[in-house]
Amino acid sequence: MTLPTVGIVGAGQLARMMYQAAIPLEIPVRLLAVRDEDGAALIARDVMIGQADSLDDLRAFAATCDIVTFDHELVEPEHLRTLESEGVVLRPGAMTASVVVDKRDQRAAMQRIGAPTPAHREVATTDEIAAFAREHGWPIVLKAARGGYDGRGVWICADVTSAGDVFALMQGRPLLVEAFVRIESEFAVQVARRPAGEMVAYPAVDTVQRDGAFHESIAPSSVPHARAQEAAAIAMRIADAIGCVGMLAVEFFLADGHLLTNELAARPHNSAHYTIEGCVTSQFENHMRAVSDLPLGSTALTAPFVATVNAFGPKDGSDPADTLADALSVEGAHVHLYGKPPRSGRKLGHVTVTGEDRGDVLNRARTAANILMRGQGAT
């Protein structure tokens, strides 16, 4: 018996790592790639070329798969609803996608299940922002309701003037204002959920953003155990509430000792890349198991500490593969390159190190990642 074919819309690094996880389980995978040279398309046997924003392409792709899942959140929810109405099995489905694609709907879902969030409000004028700031103080955070990613679409504004600049930039697209939170720490919890609701949660993991983009993670999180437990419970309630199938990542802040729920992603997430070596079952394997409706695997850590550091394209535009040999010389460094053309500042890979000491694993992962990022000229 052959398992159902899982189609992945998009062929970036998430699809590439899902593909790797599917091989040992004999889960047949088919990709919808934009180009033959997309990171995941480079290594996969069964690739269709097409556009994720074309309903025709999505329909043609889905017709050749049993289950459809996603490398990214760029598919129009309206297209997803159409496909579902035509009988396509989407995991996650259109309802989940419509929530995560819009930060207003994310916030609404969090409030519905009683998850604490920063104070927030949809705003259409600078007057409304000024009113919000009178209640919650300056600075405030403005977020594009849609299309934000890796720090894009988030602005911290100290006054009405800078908020007005964001309005001008956004040209009427919907904005959310949020209270600026003085964060003690930032962490994430990921959940894998099967169609009938069976779930597993991963350990809370500390995350570090830099310039708004995910930069590094260390597991387990150093937040108090009770807060980590609370976060896991919230993440699972959200997964249920939005009917997520597959991986859900939930980002949290700790502020003043209290938990605040930040953002959601209904897919494998950078904050859990550490699970490839750091947990018994990686987020990619559990995503493929969940969407294939197979039993989920253990999320236990494989070592006392696990650090993951992203590698971005060197400033000189050279390829991290040029310095791969040196990076592999770092003891225990697990290097993951994404098969993407190099470009300065582009996320091209990550490094994970597991071990007994928190500082040591972080140090080794950073050392190897820095080697990948140093460019050809430096030594």
Please report, as ranges, the residues that interact with a second copy according to CB under 8 A: 1-3, 16, 19-20, 23-26, 41-45, 47, 280, 289, 294-295, 297-298, 300, 302-303, 318-319, 321-322, 324-325, 328-329, 331-332, 334-337, 339, 354
CA quadruple 39, 40, 41, 42: dihedral, nearest 10: 60
| Minimum gap (Å) between residue 130 Cβ and a second copy | 50
Tokens, residue 203 = 């350990």
| Minimum gap (Å) between residue 297 Cβ and a second copy | 7
Distance CA 31, CA 376 (A): 33
Is 76 within 8 Å of 51 (Cβ atoms)? no
- Residue owning tokens 């104070």: 119
Angle at 360 (CA atoms; ends 271, 280), nearest 5 degrees: 45
- Residue owning tokens 């980002």: 251
For a second copy, give the closer residue by CB, 215 or 364: 364
For a second copy, give the closer residue by CB, 77 or 355: 355
| Minimum gap (Å) between residue 353 Cβ and a second copy | 9
Q: What is the DSSP letter of 90?
A: B
For a second copy, give the closer residue by CB, 174 or 297: 297
For a second copy, give the closer residue by CB, 295 or 359: 295
| Minimum gap (Å) between residue 49 Cβ and a second copy | 14
| Minimum gap (Å) between residue 189 Cβ and a second copy | 21
Distance CA 229, CA 203 (A): 9
Distance CA 250, CA 97 (A): 14
For a second copy, give the closer residue by CB, 201 or 242: 201
